A and B are shown apart, each in its own frame.
Chain A
């Protein structure tokens, strides 16, 4: 078996730093796909080489640029010197304090979100709870509720000049008690609301996929439903819990929209927002930002590696694949507390924020009392007629619609090679795809900023760069959806095509693709939605002509123009719902997940 040189180094990243070696390796890739001395696999070989090269470039360019950037004492593109100062500055009190705040916020968020999300999953899928279908749909919707819009809504509600204080002061005359969302508590509160659907969705699978016989065995051995839950169900879910908590932690660590909106006015800085502040407000320190970005990426990457290890070990323990009818646990006296729990979450995570935004978008000046308010359409009229907004909507649709297509095709190709053909070097490809998953969006944006200031490619200030950033960031979504399907597809289905006279290409085209279409559709849906609401990867690389909806909304809000920000948010969410329904209608496969 021939091996690529860099497989032996153990780390693809290390070898990617040597361009000559990489080129030599890539040149040999087409022959890696062919069975030894085989014939007729040339086209796939070329595709493999192309996919490998593209993914290697996507993943390595920002990371390499960050490493180099962290060693510069100037802004990207400006003359400067090599220096270790940025790395030394990581030990400065400011950075250390930010790191501690980040860990505190992420840790608290994960803990609360996991408890609430798991509780919701257990209530919805394990008990005789009556509103399961409605709750599942609502939680699905809140999963797609953009984080920065949620943060905006809660700022309107909970800031010193916001709804609650207005009601307390003007409505009830209470001066002694006031609420201030601008703080660690506020950030954690909104982040928990934002991450509960993710915790729920990751725990739902293991909970529903659990072999019911384990629980039935506990019941027949004399355990009450609660004892069973405590001594059998939850311990058996421990792997899934740990793995889901680690992913939650990664998301909390890289969360940008919520801490930037709530944290900056409240002077609470986390690593992701510090990177942004260092790049946007003078005195800028792009090199230090790069060093911080790499540190943050290292932390999230460690969490992801640990999670992958857990997920591999845990799969065998819980899921046997034969999900049967599970006897629901009767809620009994707990029915009303359970209903209340679910209702309160949906109210705070979805309904209240939407209503507040709608209200804010329709009034001239902010007041908590709707009877005092002067209602107006002017925010909508302004937003609708603004050329910048129209451009942003067009850009968003182009980036999401086209970018998701590129992403899902590239992801499916990667998965076909890593899961099915497994040619020489496929492990490196697998690792390269996963690499950016640990890189927070704002760090990825910074990497691209550094890279395209030096690379002789005129990408800076183009939509292409934004698409590149999104595809890089969310490629794992596509590879995992497609890969999960490829793993399920029995190998003999493809082998039967070969023995019936189909070449590999024709087997892919006529058998594998049609059979994986539902997964590709659901991958497209997932990517479209992710691209549509992404802000962290865009915030450092957008320009006036490449602004997207998320950035426009955020810009309005930053100018303290709540009305316009709310109106555009409402428009964006209506657009999102419309596209969502259209995609689900046109692509039945996307509904499966």
Chain B
């Protein structure tokens, strides 16, 4: 099978379990993102696939070849896995020029004529004119492109990205995001991308795998994750969200103050215990005043403005309604205390499992330091 296969992967550091039995696939040519908060094990997963960390359990195969199998004692060294990897720090070697950096994956395999491959890779990232520069003469964005060119120069079977955009400023990040997508589609190789940034995950990926505390919480297309998150953690991590506490009385769900509310019937499994309903702020229409018009398919709540934040494209309001504080977007200018009506479709109000993010753990990955006794002797 082409692509990356991960089965039952386990990684522990001492007593800490960083990856707890996860499995997923990346199909050939597919762009998959591992998304999660820091310390969730996404980078460790990527490093296990690269062979930079050794798994304690499970199996990893790249394009049908098992590169790591804890039970069988198989472990293929990183340099024999035919990878292209972009590091968070870029890891551009400062003692080599741009061209020498990009040529490294070829020269290290003993290839002499690297000119055309280096030219091709630099051309793809638009860095041909800087080929003879030293890394210290490049900006962060340019170094990032060199890292990208180096990763693809030897036409690897797999591309791995470890938060490659986290050190760039916002504008450059947007541009590079598009570029990485384009290059990966051109090369048609499986790509695994690690990030904690939901925008990157949603905009670039064919599929997103959300991780939390060393486990896979949900995987699916960006749309599936956004619209049908399996629990409160995923809903909260991807996009902004209101969580409304609802309880059932006589076949009807009610908000905290007793207001009846309709929810997406597909999300309603029919239990009777109190639940949490997800309502995205952008799914809410906010009108000034108390509109009385009734409509059976829409929910309507009246309330008053508690506070407002000006964000540019719209204003984010916090509204006291239905016994809860609900965030909603609008372009209306309303002073605090104004009466408002919130309107939203039943389909936009989904019951989700009330699993919040578990407390953060820090995997013990700190590098030990030596005490330089003589650090100041000339």
A–B pairs, 28, beta carbons within 8 Å:
A36-B54, A38-B54, A39-B76, A40-B77, A40-B80, A201-B376, A201-B377, A247-B373, A308-B373, A311-B371, A477-B374, A480-B375, A484-B370, A487-B372, A490-B91, A491-B367, A496-B85, A496-B87, A497-B104, A498-B51, A499-B50, A499-B83, A500-B150, A501-B109, A511-B93, A515-B95, A526-B374, A593-B376
Beyond the given A36-B73, A492-B88, please list 18 additional residue pairs across the A-B interface where CB-CB is below 8 A: A35-B75, A39-B76, A312-B371, A315-B369, A476-B373, A483-B370, A487-B369, A487-B372, A498-B52, A498-B77, A499-B79, A499-B85, A499-B160, A500-B105, A500-B151, A502-B104, A514-B95, A515-B95
B378 neighbours in A (Cβ, 8 Å): 140, 143, 201, 526, 593
**Most A CB atoms within 10 A — which of B83, B150, B372?**
B372
Task: Tell whether, in the assembled complex, residue B160 and residue A480 are in contact, meaning their CB atoms are under 8 Å apart.
Answer: no
- Report A114 CB to chain B, min CB distance, Å: 14
Task: Tell whether, in the assembled complex, residue B93 and residue A515 are in contact, meaning their CB atoms are under 8 Å apart.
Answer: yes
Task: Tell whether, in the assembled complex, residue B75 and residue A36 are in contact, meaning their CB atoms are under 8 Å apart.
Answer: yes
B62 adjacent to chain A (CB < 8 Å): no
- Report A237 CB to chain B, min CB distance, Å: 13
B interface footprint on A17-47 (CB within 8 Å = 1, 0 otherwise): 0000000000000000001111111000000
| Given contacts A35-B75, A499-B160, A422 and B368 within 8 Å (CB-CB) | yes
Q: 6 tightest A-B contacts by CB?
A: A496-B91, A205-B376, A498-B78, A492-B91, A499-B85, A500-B105
A interface footprint on B95-129 (CB within 8 Å = 1, 0 otherwise): 10000000011001100000000000000000000
A203 neighbours in B (Cβ, 8 Å): 376
B84 neighbours in A (Cβ, 8 Å): 499-500
B377 neighbours in A (Cβ, 8 Å): 143, 198, 201-202, 477, 526, 593
Task: Tell whether, in the assembled complex, residue A39 and residue B77 are in contact, meaning their CB atoms are under 8 Å apart.
Answer: yes
- Report B45 CB to chain A, min CB distance, Å: 15
Cα distance A430–B369 in the bound complex, in angstroms: 12
Task: Tell whether, in the assembled complex, residue B52 and residue A499 are in contact, meaning their CB atoms are under 8 Å apart.
Answer: yes
A481 adjacent to chain B (CB < 8 Å): yes
Which residue of B is nearest A426, CB measured? B368
B interface footprint on A414-425 (CB within 8 Å = 1, 0 otherwise): 010011001000
B79 neighbours in A (Cβ, 8 Å): 40, 498-503, 506
| Given contacts A204-B376, A502-B79, A503-B77, A418 and B370 within 8 Å (CB-CB) | yes
B interface footprint on A133-145 (CB within 8 Å = 1, 0 otherwise): 0000000100100
B367 neighbours in A (Cβ, 8 Å): 487, 491
| Given contacts A39-B75, A491-B367, A492-B87, A205 and B104 within 8 Å (CB-CB) | no
Task: Tell whether, in the assembled complex, residue A500 and residue B77 are in contact, meaning their CB atoms are under 8 Å apart.
Answer: no
- Report A66 CB to chain B, min CB distance, Å: 23
A487 neighbours in B (Cβ, 8 Å): 367, 369-370, 372
Q: What is B's interface to A at a CB cutoff of 8 Å? A: 50-52, 54, 73-85, 87-89, 91, 93-95, 104-105, 108-109, 147, 150-151, 154, 160, 367-378
Which residue of B is nearest A514, CB measured? B95
A495 adjacent to chain B (CB < 8 Å): yes
Task: Tell whether, in the assembled complex, residue B108 and residue A481 are in contact, meaning their CB atoms are under 8 Å apart.
Answer: no
A35 neighbours in B (Cβ, 8 Å): 54, 75, 77
A477 neighbours in B (Cβ, 8 Å): 374, 377
Cα distance A198–B82 in the bound complex, in angstroms: 51
A510 adjacent to chain B (CB < 8 Å): yes
Cα distance A247–B372 in the bound complex, in angstroms: 12
Which residue of B is nearest A491, CB measured? B367
A86 adjacent to chain B (CB < 8 Å): no
- Report B125 CB to chain A, min CB distance, Å: 16
Task: Tell whether, in the assembled complex, residue A492 and residue B104 are in contact, meaning their CB atoms are under 8 Å apart.
Answer: no
B105 neighbours in A (Cβ, 8 Å): 500-501
A493 adjacent to chain B (CB < 8 Å): yes
Task: Tell whether, in the assembled complex, residue B108 and residue A506 are in contact, meaning their CB atoms are under 8 Å apart.
Answer: yes
Which residue of B is nearest A201, CB measured? B376
Cα distance A483–B178 in the bound complex, in angstroms: 41
- Report A244 CB to chain B, min CB distance, Å: 9
Cα distance A311–B376 in the bound complex, in angstroms: 13
Task: Tell whether, in the assembled complex, residue A308 and residue B371 are in contact, meaning their CB atoms are under 8 Å apart.
Answer: yes
A307 adjacent to chain B (CB < 8 Å): yes
B376 neighbours in A (Cβ, 8 Å): 201-205, 593
Which residue of B is nearest A503, CB measured? B79
Q: A480 touches which one: B54, B77, B80, B372 (CB < 8 A)? A: B372
- Report B108 CB to chain A, min CB distance, Å: 5
Cα distance A476–B371 in the bound complex, in angstroms: 11
Q: A500 touches which one: B51, B76, B88, B104 (CB < 8 A)? A: B104
| Given contacts A40-B77, A515-B95, A497 and B108 within 8 Å (CB-CB) | yes
**Most A CB atoms within 10 A — which of B50, B80, B83, B375?**
B375
B154 neighbours in A (Cβ, 8 Å): 500-501
- Report B359 CB to chain A, min CB distance, Å: 24
Q: Which of A121-176 contact B (CB under 8 A)?
A: 140, 143
Which residue of B is nearest A507, CB measured? B79
Which residue of A is nearest B95, CB measured? A514
B87 neighbours in A (Cβ, 8 Å): 492, 495-496
| Given contacts A480-B375, A493-B91, A415 and B54 within 8 Å (CB-CB) | no
Q: Which of A554-593 contact B (CB under 8 A)?
A: 593
Cα distance A90–B73 in the bound complex, in angstroms: 57
| Given contacts A495-B52, A499-B84, A41 and B372 within 8 Å (CB-CB) | no
Q: Which of A174-214 contact B (CB under 8 A)?
A: 198, 201-205
Task: Tell whether, in the assembled complex, residue B77 and residue A484 are in contact, meaning their CB atoms are under 8 Å apart.
Answer: no
Cα distance A143–B377 in the bound complex, in angstroms: 9
| Given contacts A492-B89, A493-B93, A37 and B73 within 8 Å (CB-CB) | yes
Q: B78 touches which one: A205, A495, A515 (CB < 8 A)? A: A495
Cα distance A304–B74 in the bound complex, in angstroms: 44
B95 neighbours in A (Cβ, 8 Å): 514-515
A501 neighbours in B (Cβ, 8 Å): 79, 82, 105, 108-109, 154
Cα distance A498–B52 in the bound complex, in angstroms: 8
| Given contacts A418-B370, A496-B85, A499-B50, A37 and B104 within 8 Å (CB-CB) | no
